Amino acid sequence: MNKQPNSCIRNALSAVLLAALFGCTQPTPKSHHDVIVVGAGIAGLSAALEASAHGAKVLVIEANSVGGGHAVIAGGFAMVDTALQRKKGYKDSPDIAYRDLMAWGETADPYWVRRYAEESGTDVYDWLTAAGAEFVVIIDTPEDTVPRFHFTRGAGVNVVVPLMSKALKDINIDFAWNTRVTALAKNRGAIRGVVGVNERTGSRAYFSAESIVLATGGFQNNLNMVRANWPAERNLPKKLLKGAGQFATGDGYVLAEWAGADMQRMDRQVTFYNGVPDPRDKSGTSALVAENPAAIWVASNGRRFMDESADSKVMAAAVDKLKPVSFWMLFDANGARRLGLRGAPWIDRDSVKRYILDNPVITAKGVTLRELALKTGLPEHSLRTTVETWNRMVDVGTDFQFNRFSEEHQPRGIQSLSKAPYYAIKIYPLTRKSMGGPAIDKLGRVVNAAEHPVPGLFAAGELTGVAGINGSHGGAGTFLGPSVFTGRIAGKTAALESSARKSPALVLAEGTNALIEQAVADGKRPGYWHFDVSHRLVSERRYSCNACHNESAPMRMADNRKEMLARLDTCTQCH
Ligand SMILES: Cc1cc2nc3c(=O)[nH]c(=O)nc-3n(C[C@H](O)[C@H](O)[C@H](O)COP(=O)(O)OP(=O)(O)OC[C@H]3O[C@@H](n4cnc5c(N)ncnc54)[C@H](O)[C@@H]3O)c2cc1C
């Protein structure tokens, strides 16, 4: 990606100098908005909706041809003291959540953790629910003393769809798809525009705005960046697979750093240690996540090295010590049925057999342990001893080696390895989530090393390492929720700061508010009861008209089914 756009001066000047000169070389903007949001992931969509609700005319610029980002392939949301938790009898509270998050994350940011613990029940759960998301399940996870990992009936896509549909219905939110932002533009010391390149046509355009929100997600699909920021205390694996989406390129980090952001916690990265190369990915670098409760794991010496059911933190520490940083997942013919894979849309029972179990590039198969040892290079004697010991422990009901099961604790899926053929899959680490990035202040403004805001620039979501909420260890659901949370905060501030600069949208809103005040004051017109009550609130709370009205819900009596339906979406502004 280019560090800085430039219409006529090239190469010779540094990016910073170019920025200073950009004012005299920049082309006429393709469009001007109050707020530009870069990235239509869950953070960007939340920022755009919030900015619009605060009266801003918004442009969302997205490199992909569709919105939603990683939330589409993600799972659940950690949220605190929600209506669903209460319904299920789980007694959560901000204090309990604060303690859990701080303990698990170890180096989490206390300010953001406290705030998220206190406000996520309303500002994430209630807000998403009002937008149409329906959470129905809460999963218990090792890091939470009270279950708070919320799911819809499916995955994150069921939250993205209502948000996306709300944004598409909002006439004050425009979209530029397939447009990758490659540079920011400075004007009189503030960030006031972006350069985007259309990914299909290659054409370049300049878009200007009063405020720019970066919500471009993490950098976990950029292996160079992952390696360059690898934590000093962990072994850098020789083979590292990509476990994040196509567009987690790290663009936003380059942009923010160029603008002067203080880049924090860049080495805090969530790495999973159960990856298999995706056999349908021609580059051979993408990962699938593999799980099998009927398997044991052996290191290159043919021995088990940990409790295979341990939590992600224990697993990361144990695998990190292996040389090389990889291991074999071992199971037999019975266990083959229990192999689960995630991470690609083509996965189903038949394709797992075809592309994984029957694929010698991924899976070694042996009718005997000797054959398996030959195919994997694992020492035969030690492999045989490991399997025999395991089978004996299963028979007596106690894992004397790593305490995975015992007389008191008999998890499901534990079985002996005795039915040929035997399988071994080589497992590698995979990249997943970024926990660092440009520092933001309490209002979502990007700040420099002196903690001063970079004028005009805001950031949200995984790009910011979700504000340090995870510290050094990613928790369950602690990216999606915080992405919404920080997105809303950045979107609101971006809108307010743009309106403080008297953008055209606000002038229009103020004018319209005056008209409403007049109409409501005249009042008492028969048949206008709801109109008057709701618009009095609009007036008192200084809502902008576009908080409720858009193309589908225009400013007139809703006299057809489509408009009535569109208006239903706005009930929750007041109720
Ligand atoms: C497989 C998987 C499963 C996960 N499961 C969970 C889970 O269960 N719970 C949880 O909390 N978290 C989970 N996460 C993490 C979570 O999905 C992300 O942290 C979260 O979705 C980030 O949202 P975001 O909007 O900040 O960024 P993203 O979702 O990455 O969205 C960023 C958007 O910006 C666009 N973009 C990037 N660069 C540019 C550019 N230069 N110009 C224009 N657009 C650009 C991208 O195309 C993308 O649409 C998971 C992640 C993965 C990979």
Write the pLDDT tens digit of every residue in 96-112. Answer: 999 999 999 999 999 99
Name 287's Cβ contacts closer than 8 Å, sequence gap at least 6.
241, 242, 243, 272, 275, 276, 277, 278, 343, 428, 430, 431
Considering the domain boundaries, does residue 83 fall inside one? no
Considering the domain boundaries, does residue 423 fall inside one? yes
Joined together, the tokens standing for residue 341 give 């894979």
Rounded CA-CA distance 326/239 in Å is 8
Q: What is the CATH number of the domain that holds 321?
A: 3.90.700.10
Considering the domain boundaries, does residue 44 fall inside one? no
Do 419 and 510 reside in the same domain of the chain?
Answer: no
Amino acid 175: pLDDT:
97
Q: How many CB atoms lie within 10 A of CB 469?
A: 29
Q: Is the CB of residue 240 below 6 angstroms from any atom belonging to ligand 1? A: no
Do 378 and 511 reside in the same domain of the chain?
Answer: no
Rounded CA-CA distance 412/395 in Å is 14
Tell me the CA distances in angstroms from 119 to 78, 97, 236, 466, one per residue in order: 12, 11, 37, 15
Do 415 and 289 reside in the same domain of the chain?
Answer: yes
Considering the domain boundaries, does residue 567 fall inside one? yes
Amino acid 545: pLDDT:
72
Exposure on the CB side of residue 398, measured as CA atoms within 13 A: 4
Amino acid 574: pLDDT:
75
pLDDT tens for 182-195 read: 999 998 899 999 99
Q: Is the CB of residue 54 below 6 angstroms from any atom belonging to ligand 1? A: no
Q: Is the pLDDT of residue 6 over 60?
A: no
Do 277 and 426 reside in the same domain of the chain?
Answer: yes
Specify which residues 190 forms β-bridges with: 187
Instruction: Give the burial string for 549-569 (b: 16+ CB within 10 Å, else e).
Output: bbebbeeeeeeeeeeeebeeb
Q: Is the pLDDT of residue 487 over 90?
A: yes
- Which of 391, 379, 390, 399 has its CA nearest to residue 302? 379
Mean per-residue pLDDT, 447-467: 98
Do 394 and 512 reside in the same domain of the chain?
Answer: no
Place of tokens 């605190």: 80
pLDDT averaged over every residue in the chain: 90
Torsion of CA 479, 480, 484, 486, to 10 degrees: 0
* ∠ Cα 539 53 183 (to 5°): 140
Owning domain of residue 569: 505-573
Q: Is the CB of residue 480 below 6 angstroms from any atom belonging to ligand 1? A: yes
- Which of 245, 195, 288, 286 has its CA nearest to residue 64? 245
Last residue of a domain, one of 406, 430, 454: 430
Do 278 and 407 reside in the same domain of the chain?
Answer: yes
Considering the domain boundaries, does residue 541 fall inside one? yes
82 neighbors 149 (Cβ within 8 angstroms): no
Q: Which of 70, 247, 255, 341 to mutate to test the pocket of ligand 1 (most atoms within 8 A of CB)?
A: 70
Q: How many CB atoms lie within 10 A of CB 514?
A: 11
167 neighbors 58 (Cβ within 8 angstroms): no
Q: Is the pLDDT of residue 561 over 80?
A: yes
Mean per-residue pLDDT, 448-453: 97
Do 288 and 413 reside in the same domain of the chain?
Answer: yes
Do 512 and 413 reside in the same domain of the chain?
Answer: no
Q: Is the CB of residue 48 below 6 angstroms from any atom belonging to ligand 1? A: no
Q: Which of 207, 247, 473, 484 to mutate to test the pocket of ligand 1 (most atoms within 8 A of CB)?
A: 247
Q: Is the CB of residue 73 below 6 angstroms from any atom belonging to ligand 1? A: yes
Amino acid 566: pLDDT:
77
Which of 116-120, 161-165, 261-265, 518-522 has the weakest average pLDDT?
518-522
Last residue of a domain, one of 430, 454, 483: 430
Do 292 and 407 reside in the same domain of the chain?
Answer: yes
Considering the domain boundaries, does residue 33 fall inside one? no
Per the model's pLDDT, the better-predicted residue between 520 and 25 turns out to be 520
Do 282 and 423 reside in the same domain of the chain?
Answer: yes
Q: Is the CB of residue 72 below 6 angstroms from any atom belonging to ligand 1? A: no
CA-nearest residue, atom 31 of ligand 1: 41
Do 542 and 399 reside in the same domain of the chain?
Answer: no
Do 301 and 389 reside in the same domain of the chain?
Answer: yes
Considering the domain boundaries, does residue 41 fall inside one? no
Mean per-residue pLDDT, 445-456: 98
Considering the domain boundaries, does residue 411 fall inside one? yes
Q: Is the CB of residue 254 below 6 angstroms from any atom belonging to ligand 1? A: no
Q: Which atom in ligand 1 lies closest to the alpha carbon of residue 216?
A: 34
- Residue 431 three-state SS: strand
Q: How many CB atoms lie within 10 A of CB 372?
A: 24
Last residue of a domain, one of 409, 430, 451: 430
Number of separate domains in the chain: 2
- Which of 141, 192, 173, 168 has its CA nearest to residue 26? 192
Q: Parallel, antiparallel, or unpaired for β 437-438 and 445-447?
A: unpaired
